[in-house]
């Protein structure tokens, strides 16, 4: 018996030695001392790319940087305008000039005062160096000037339907001002300094990221003492962590796990409208270099394929019912802009219709192999999906099976996302026919998603190589329409046009499935896009600790 005890003792000693070794190396700069508090803990399975807000392209980075940095304007839970670094603003009569009056008492986290020079510098960076995603909104930006320390005037060549002040994070000139565009591109921004309600604490890649309440914040103090994001290897474990109380809220819950959380104690599971869609893209590239099947340039073939998409069944099977059947390119969270399609306009699931359309267009199965052809060319296409996106693979299988009924052969190939990107974005070959993929918008404005199928976006966001001058024209028109009703009319026309052309066939709008605990914080607000991950970030700021 003694021997076993010795052996056990040895093992424990080993563990402790290892921990000692680790203690010197791995944890690095841990906080020793101080007192704990009401820290909001968020569980997620993807981590930020970089904390540089103008070179980052990930939703996760945006979570941190949106709490550390501020924009001039913001949103409340109902998407009404709120003020961050601006305390008021006005438009000129022609809507081309916007004047912002800035808050006077804001300070950068390092103690430097915030002034109009910071705003001018940030906007000029975007305009001149073409940095940041916000560059898409700066096309008509002519000049940014500061008549005094707390006033900024922006002049545009056209009226702006979307005000970029909602999305441009203001950076401190005393840190970013001296850097060249190349330096900014390589700048990891390891210690971000902003004016926001939270100060950056740390980011340990692969584990946690934290921010703490900014006691000198110029606006309303946030409820939590800090926010910590914890990285999990996968959703199953993250869900267990929520149940165990290790975290307070999850950014993403899969449909299968979602049901298991519904009855859990102190946990609320919510499904909310999202800013994302999944779609079947069809290669419409008209350039001779295209390796895509030319039969897909025939709108009839694309519409016949659209008639083979049983979207309602897909929502049931691929999403366990947590989603809405897709129509236009604008997801469900954009309901105030969306066109309500009439039964006549809808291209519904109808195999017979698909058959008769193809028949009428001269696609017949003359050799009896079950595949229709015209002039010897068979309706035989490839369909690609990302192997790890189970819902898309399933959708592609369902489409393949129903297309077969209509006499169209689809061959499914799955691949990793980067490989698919390489194939789809290659303007030299565009070697694909159909794919199933997803898209989402970090912006609450419809302009971003509507801009995807523009001719000028071929090789960039236009993955289906759609090119329609009438659509492009309408896009330019809506981007300058300040009147919401007029803009909506233009947008609806674009939605219908795109829907009818069947280049990007929206399958569904997935619900945002999230879950949060109610025993540590109260006052959670449900927003479009999610409890967190919504464009408002209200829950990071307004929830209060349970006493």
* Cα–Cα separations (whole angstroms), residue 258 to 232, 267, 316, 442: 17, 11, 15, 23
DSSP letter, residue 134: G
Neighbours of 226 (CB within 10 A): 18
* Cα–Cα separations (whole angstroms), residue 455 to 331, 469, 471: 22, 8, 9
Cβ nearer to other proteins, comparing 111 with 206 = 206
Cβ nearer to other proteins, comparing 44 with 150 = 44
Nearest residue to 463 via CA among 491, 426, 410, 493:
426
Query: CA–CA separation, 227 vs 207, rounded Å?
Result: 14
Minimum Å distance from CB 156 to other proteins? 18
Cβ nearer to other proteins, comparing 31 with 93 = 31
Query: CA–CA separation, 399 vs 408, rounded Å?
Result: 10
Cβ nearer to other proteins, comparing 184 with 347 = 184
Helix (H) or strand (E) holding 363, with range, is none
Minimum Å distance from CB 474 to other proteins? 19
Three state DSSP letters for 135-169: HHHCCCEEEEEEEECCEEEEEECCCCCCCHHHCCC
Minimum Å distance from CB 230 to other proteins? 5
- In degrees and rounded to multiples of 5, residue 370 shows phi and psi of 90, -5
How does strand 226-231 pair with strand 434-440? unpaired
Cβ nearer to other proteins, comparing 97 with 419 = 419
Minimum Å distance from CB 237 to other proteins? 6
Decide: 92 and 160 in contact? Cβ < 8 Å.
Answer: no
DSSP letter, residue 222: P
Nearest residue to 438 via CA among 306, 322, 274, 251:
274
Minimum Å distance from CB 395 to other proteins? 19
Minimum Å distance from CB 130 to other proteins? 4
Cβ nearer to other proteins, comparing 250 with 354 = 250
Decide: 213 and 542 in contact? Cβ < 8 Å.
Answer: no
- In degrees and rounded to multiples of 5, residue 123 shows phi and psi of -65, -35
Decide: 455 and 472 in contact? Cβ < 8 Å.
Answer: yes
Minimum Å distance from CB 148 to other proteins? 31
Residue 281 three-state SS: strand
* Cα–Cα separations (whole angstroms), residue 478 to 329, 341, 472, 490, 530: 15, 20, 10, 6, 27
Minimum Å distance from CB 529 to other proteins? 16
Cβ nearer to other proteins, comparing 222 with 407 = 222
Minimum Å distance from CB 415 to other proteins? 8
Neighbours of 327 (CB within 10 A): 23
Query: CA–CA separation, 370 vs 486, rounded Å?
Result: 49
Residue 208 three-state SS: strand
How does strand 276-282 pair with strand 434-440? antiparallel
Decide: 395 and 345 in contact? Cβ < 8 Å.
Answer: no
Cβ nearer to other proteins, comparing 49 with 486 = 49
Cβ nearer to other proteins, comparing 32 with 360 = 32
Query: CA–CA separation, 291 vs 45, rounded Å?
Result: 36
Minimum Å distance from CB 236 to other proteins? 6
Cβ nearer to other proteins, comparing 60 with 373 = 60
* Cα–Cα separations (whole angstroms), residue 254 to 221, 332, 442, 511: 33, 19, 20, 10
Minimum Å distance from CB 375 to other proteins? 33
Cβ nearer to other proteins, comparing 48 with 219 = 48
Q: Is 238 exposed, middle or buried (0-12, 13-18, 19+ CB in 10 A)?
A: buried
Minimum Å distance from CB 428 to other proteins? 13
Cβ nearer to other proteins, comparing 87 with 236 = 236
Cβ nearer to other proteins, comparing 112 with 442 = 442
Nearest residue to 78 via CA among 425, 480, 534:
534
Decide: 358 and 301 in contact? Cβ < 8 Å.
Answer: yes
Minimum Å distance from CB 365 to other proteins? 34
Cβ nearer to other proteins, comparing 76 with 139 = 139
Minimum Å distance from CB 440 to other proteins? 9
């Amino acid at each position: 018996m003694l021997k076993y005890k010795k052996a056990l003792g040895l093992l424990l000693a080993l563990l402790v030695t290892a921990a000692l070794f680790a203690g010197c190396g791995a944890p690095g700069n841990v906080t020793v001392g101080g007192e704990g508090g009401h820290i909001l803990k968020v569980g997620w399975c993807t981590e930020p790319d970089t904390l540089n807000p103008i070179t980052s392209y990930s939703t996760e980075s945006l979570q941190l940087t949106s709490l550390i940095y501020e924009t001039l304007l913001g949103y409340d839970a109902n998407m009404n305008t709120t003020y961050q670094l601006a305390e008021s603003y006005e438009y000129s009569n022609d809507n081309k000039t916007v004047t912002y009056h800035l808050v006077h008492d804001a300070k950068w986290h390092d103690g430097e005062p915030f002034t109009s020079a910071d705003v001018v510098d940030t906007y000029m960076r975007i305009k001149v160096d073409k940095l940041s995603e916000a560059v898409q909104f700066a096309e008509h930006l002519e000049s940014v000037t500061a008549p005094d320390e707390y006033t900024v005037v922006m002049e545009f060549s056209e009226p702006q339907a979307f005000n970029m002040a909602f999305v441009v994070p203001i950076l401190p000139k005393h840190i970013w001002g001296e850097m060249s565009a190349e330096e900014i591109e390589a700048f990891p921004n390891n210690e971000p300094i902003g004016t926001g309600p939270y100060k950056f604490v740390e980011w340990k890649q692969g584990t946690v990221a934290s921010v703490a309440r900014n006691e000198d914040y110029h606006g309303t103090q946030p409820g939590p003492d800090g926010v910590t994001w914890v990285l999990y290897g996968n959703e199953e474990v993250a869900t267990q962590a929520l149940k165990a109380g290790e975290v307070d809220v999850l950014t993403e819950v899969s449909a299968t796990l979602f049901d298991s959380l519904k009855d859990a104690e102190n946990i609320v599971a919510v499904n909310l409208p999202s800013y994302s869609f999944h779609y079947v893209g069809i290669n419409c590239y008209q350039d001779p270099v295209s390796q895509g099947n030319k039969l897909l340039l025939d709108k009839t073939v694309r519409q016949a394929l659209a008639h083979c998409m049983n979207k309602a069944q897909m929502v049931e099977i691929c999403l366990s019912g947590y989603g809405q059947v897709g129509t236009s390119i604008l997801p469900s969270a954009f309901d105030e802009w969306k066109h309500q399609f009439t039964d006549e306009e809808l291209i519904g699931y109808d195999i017979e219709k698909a058959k008769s359309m193809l028949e009428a267009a001269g696609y017949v199965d003359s050799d009896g192999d079950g595949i229709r052809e015209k002039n010897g060319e068979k309706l035989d296409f490839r369909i690609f999906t990302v192997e790890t996106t189970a819902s898309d693979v399933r959708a592609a299988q369902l489409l393949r099976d129903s297309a077969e009924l209509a006499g169209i052969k689809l061959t499914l190939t799955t691949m990793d996302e980067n490989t698919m990107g390489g194939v789809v974005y290659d303007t030299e070959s565009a070697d694909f026919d159909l794919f199933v993929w997803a898209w989402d918008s970090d912006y609450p404005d419809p302009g971003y998603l509507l801009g995807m199928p523009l001719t000028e976006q071929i090789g960039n966001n236009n993955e289906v190589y759609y090119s329609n001058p009438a659509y492009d024209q309408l896009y330019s028109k809506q981007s300058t329409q300040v009147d919401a009703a007029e803009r909506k009319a233009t947008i609806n026309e674009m939605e219908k046009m795109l829907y009818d052309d069947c280049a990007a066939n929206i399958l569904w709008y997935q619900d945002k499935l999230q879950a949060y605990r109610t025993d540590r914080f109260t006052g959670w607000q449900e927003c479009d896009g999610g409890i967190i991950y919504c464009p408002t970030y209200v829950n990071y700021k307004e929830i209060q600790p349970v006493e």
